[in-house]
Amino acid sequence: MSQTFTQIAPPQPLVALTDDETLFRDNVRQFADEALRPKVREMDEKGVFDRDLIDQFFQLGLMGIEVPEQYGGAGGKFFESILAVEEISRVDASAGVIVDVQNTLFNNALLRWTTEEQKRRYLPRMTSDTVGAYALSEASSGSDAFAMQTRAQLKGSEYVLNGRKLWITNGKEAGVFILFATLDPAAGYKGITAFIVEKDFPGFTVGKKEDKLGIRASSTCELILEDCRVPKENVLGEVGKGYKIAIETLNEGRIGIGAQMLGLARGAWESALKYSQERKQFGKSISDFQGIQFQLAQMATEIEAVKMLVYNAARMKDAGMNFVKEAAMTKLFASQVAERVASLAVEIYGGYGFTKDYPVEKYYRDAKIGKIYEGTSNMQLQTIAKILLGGK
């Protein structure tokens, strides 16, 4: 009698770390604790990121993790970028997003969409001393990203760009931008084109830096383009295919934000755990009270669940699997957990948690952005629902 076997889907990538990944993670963690942590409060209060730290990011190879060695990078994997973002964000989410944008958005887009000549021209800079930024959003185009008004017109050997970009992370520090503009607003998303724009191109200006609730040391700036001239050879990918670059790059970026929120949640939880063992009430540590124990246990459980989502999505990306649903779930859940954990951490500290003398109030402020940038929580839910219901 013949048997019919049901085809079994291949197993999902494992989330466990290899020895090399563990060593890499531990080195980044040590750097974050020793070099970054002492500067976090001052940077947050001033709203300015220490340039010396960015130089150290480059020296440690954290700004070009996936870039092949022939272009000056570390030749690593996307998963290692995620580990770096997590460990740095455990100490400071502002620092984490600088490393995140450089690796998961900017460098990833260059690696996937540039010509060989563009790779040789830009990747060595991005791995040695130049910060990158990703300029998609505008005042009138947030979740509706392709309703942008920034125009590009071909004039001879150059494109002339006019418009304004808003909410651009790394705007102050960046030397090169991946910037999206439309050649034909009537064409909708099919008119969108991506450009590689250098900070010193004529007609390009970095405008106001936003005064934000959280991740204050990370610059979030307006970009102003007034007859900004961009050489034809600086088109990224194909003319009219900018929407594809934007969507596919942001899918990867969502895993990076998940890693940022994972690190933030871990940092808040570790602070709350330590404080609960030091703080005494009614003659004993507050960690001896079941109410506090249950909160710490719930926080730790949710953090572990986020870790599984983040690591699995990153492994899927490295394995060449379709990870769009997993990336959306990762960002959605990680941002929810980070906000909950940071809020509970403030409560465990009590009145002290409401002051700037302790780190948890900053974790709480920083957590809020996770539900907003690189696709709001509602947009993640929409993506997940469409995929589950058989849409694209």
Helix, strand, coil fractions of the chain, as percent rounded to 5: 55, 15, 30
Distances (CA, A) of 97 to 93, 188, 238: 6, 30, 28
| Residue 302 identity (one-letter amino acid) | E
Which residues 6+ apart lie within 8 Å of 10 measured at CB?
Answer: none
CB of 170 closer than 8 Å to CB of 119: no
CB of 387 closer than 8 Å to CB of 323: no
Angle (CA) 121-122-127 rounded to 5° is 130
Pick left, alpha or beta for residue 217 (phi over 0 → left; psi -120 to 50 → alpha; otherwise beta): alpha
Helices (H), 68-151: 78-89, 93-100, 108-113, 116-128
User: Among this protein's residues, is 86 annotated catalytic?
Assistant: no
Name the catalytic one among 66, 138, 173, 374.
374
Q: How far apart are CA 75 and CA 65, in angstroms?
A: 6
Catalytic residues: 374
